[in-house]
Chain A
């Protein structure tokens, strides 16, 4: 028999075994994305109509490369957390739910790998 008290067993975790981590990460990335998306909109606005050389020079700037990388990472974490909730809300059959979640996560990793590869390739 465990000597841990019931309180210590559930502390900070609850029945989902992850506590408020999902909720909190969704909010933390949302807060981070307020300045990052505003910067992204201004950056895209600046780059519209520019030739490839100008776009590459802009992204190669260390400050821009870091901000763009952070924007992509925050977007993808925020996005997969949100899509997970939507999938869990509307797909009730366990098998389809698991499969859709895995596909959504694979998509997110693929987009993330592509974006970060491109940013790193341009920046270094």
Chain B
């Protein structure tokens, strides 16, 4: 925490200068807001895999096979899971932002409750989606 240079010599109580995120107590809405940004940035880079998938499909069976074989590796699965988690979280959190934009659910209690629920829903949603794929297809995704 930055302190004013005179704070001790002048005998005054030291107070923080330029408060930033590290100063504040964590709240669900704050965590949700930061996660919204992180997932957005993650999905930005995730579009590489969307482009890769489409180009591979357009290029032919061999290129598609190469992509599919990489997608089923543990690293491929991790990336795809993070993309799914990020997309579902960003979608739900974005929906919450749109509801806020029209002026609903903006009391601290409601905003905090929905922020926590969206975290849980995103994790359950992504895990559920992968569980469905593994169980229904009897097979690794992609």
B97: chain A residues at CB < 8 Å are 30
Q: Are B98 and A31 in contact (CB under 8 A)?
A: yes
Q: Could you tell me how many residues of chain B have their Cβ less than 8 Å away from some Cβ of chain A?
A: 35
Any B CB within 8 A of the CB of A101: no
User: For residues 13 through 56 of chain B, which have their beta carbon under 8 Å from a beta carbon of chain A?
Assistant: 37, 40-41, 43-44, 47-48, 50-51, 54-56
Q: How far is the CA of A82 from the CA of B36 in the complex (A)?
A: 10
Mask of A72-86 contacts with B, CB within 8 angstroms, 1/0: 100110010011001
Report which of A49, A56, A83 forms a contact with B139, defined as CB distance below 8 A.
A49
Closest to B125 in A: A41
Q: Are B55 and A37 in contact (CB under 8 A)?
A: no
Q: Are A79 and B87 in contact (CB under 8 A)?
A: no
A/B pair count, beta carbons within 8 Å: 89
By size class, the interface of chain A is 20 to 34
Knowing A48-B141, A51-B61 touch, does A41 contact B95 (C-beta < 8 A)?
no
Q: Are A56 and B57 in contact (CB under 8 A)?
A: yes
Instruction: Say how far B20's CB is from chain A's closest CB, in angstroms.
Output: 12
Any B CB within 8 A of the CB of A7: no
Q: Are B50 and A41 in contact (CB under 8 A)?
A: no
Closest to A113 in B: B51
Q: Are B94 and A30 in contact (CB under 8 A)?
A: yes
Any B CB within 8 A of the CB of A8: no
A72: chain B residues at CB < 8 Å are 50
B127: chain A residues at CB < 8 Å are none
Q: Are A83 and B57 in contact (CB under 8 A)?
A: no
Q: Are A118 and B129 in contact (CB under 8 A)?
A: no
Closest to A89 in B: B37
Any A CB within 8 A of the CB of B110: no
Any B CB within 8 A of the CB of A22: no
Instruction: Say how far A29's CB is from chain B's closest CB, in angstroms.
Output: 10
Q: Are A86 and B41 in contact (CB under 8 A)?
A: yes
Q: Are B91 and A34 in contact (CB under 8 A)?
A: yes
A38: chain B residues at CB < 8 Å are 91
A33: chain B residues at CB < 8 Å are 91, 94
Instruction: Say how far B103's CB is from chain A's closest CB, in angstroms.
Output: 14
A86: chain B residues at CB < 8 Å are 37, 40-41
Closest to A56 in B: B57
Mask of B100-142 contacts with A, CB within 8 angstroms, 1/0: 0100000000000000000000000000010011000101111
